[in-house]
Amino acid sequence: MAYYQNYNREFKGRSLVGFPQDFCVVDIETTGLAPGSDGIIEIGAIMYENGEAVDEFSSLLQPSVNEMGDYVSPFITELTGITNEMLDTAPPTEQVLAEFFDFLGDSIIVGYNVNFDVNFLYDAIYEHLGEYMTNDFIDILRMAKKLYPEMPHHRLGDMTARFGIVNKSAHRALSDVEATYACFREFCTEAEIRHGDTAEFLKLFSKKSILSK
C-alpha cells in the first residue's frame, strides 16, 4: 500500500477535550496494531443526543487474508472471540465502511485511546471510499490520567474495574462502546467533585484543545 508512505492524515480532525451532549462513541477491533498493514474486523458505535442514546451501529468486516490464508491470528481470536469462520460470512469492508461513514456524519467522536481507532478508520475510509474522515474526537483516556494520577494504569479494563462497570464482552466493539460511555459519565461526575465543575477540570488541558460550547 504505497500511499501510506509519507502519509500524514492532513485532514484528520482535532483532538479535543470536553463533555458534549451530542456525540458518537466509537470502538473498533483490528487484526493488529498497524494501520495500512492490519485491517479492521469490527466497528461498534452508539450515537448520543442530549446525553441519550438514539441509534447504534455494529458490524463485523471481512478483511484481507494474512500470509497464512486466515483473516485473524489465534491471538486475535483469543483476545476478541472473533473467529475466521465469523469473518468468512461478514460483509465486505467497503460496504461496512460506507454504512458507518454515513451513520457517523459530522458527529464528534468519543472513545477510549481513540486516536488508535481514528487513525485506522481515517486510513481505511480513504483507501476504500476515497473520502476523508474529518471528525473531531475526544479521547477520554486523557481525562482518566488527569482525574486519577494515582492509578498505575488507565486502561479501559482498569477504569471499569474501579467503577464496578460490567463489560459483558470486553474486546468486542459494541460492548467496549457501552463501557466507554459508562466511564465517560463517571469522569464527568468525578470532574465536578474534584474541581467544582467540569469547566474548571478542563482548564488542566491546553486551551486550544478545549471543546467550545
Grid cell of 175 as nine digits: 460492548
Instruction: Quote the CA–CA distance of 139 and 131 in Å, as a whole number.
Output: 23
Q: What is the pLDDT of residues 141-197, one digit of tens each?
A: 999 999 999 999 999 999 999 999 999 999 999 999 999 999 999 999 999 999 999
Q: What is the pLDDT of residues 84-101, one digit of tens each?
A: 999 999 999 999 999 999
What is the CATH number for 189?
A: 3.30.420.10
- Write a three-state SS string for 151-193: CCCCCHHHHHHHHCCCCCCCCCHHHHHHHHHHHHHHHHHHHHH
Residues 6+ apart with CB under 8 A from 192: 198, 201
**For residue 7, what pLDDT is reported?**
65
Instruction: Give domain status of residue 40, yes or no.
Output: yes
Q: How many domains does the chain have?
A: 1
End-to-end CA distance of the chain, in Å?
40
Contact 13, 118 (CB under 8 A): yes
Instruction: Give domain status of residue 8, yes or no.
Output: no
Q: What is the pLDDT of residues 27-44, one digit of tens each?
A: 999 999 999 889 999 999
Instruction: Quote the CA–CA distance of 175 and 40 in Å, as a whole number.
Output: 16
Instruction: Give domain status of residue 149, yes or no.
Output: yes
Instruction: Give domain status of residue 212, yes or no.
Output: no
Instruction: Give domain status of residue 109, yes or no.
Output: yes
Instruction: Give domain status of residue 2, yes or no.
Output: no
Residue range 114-120: mean pLDDT, rounded? 98
Instruction: Give domain status of residue 71, yes or no.
Output: yes
pTM for this one?
Answer: 0.94
- Structural domain for 66, as ranges: 16-206
- DSSP SS3 for 194: helix
Instruction: Give domain status of residue 144, yes or no.
Output: yes
Q: How confident is the model at residue 6 (pLDDT cuts 50, 70, 90)?
A: very low
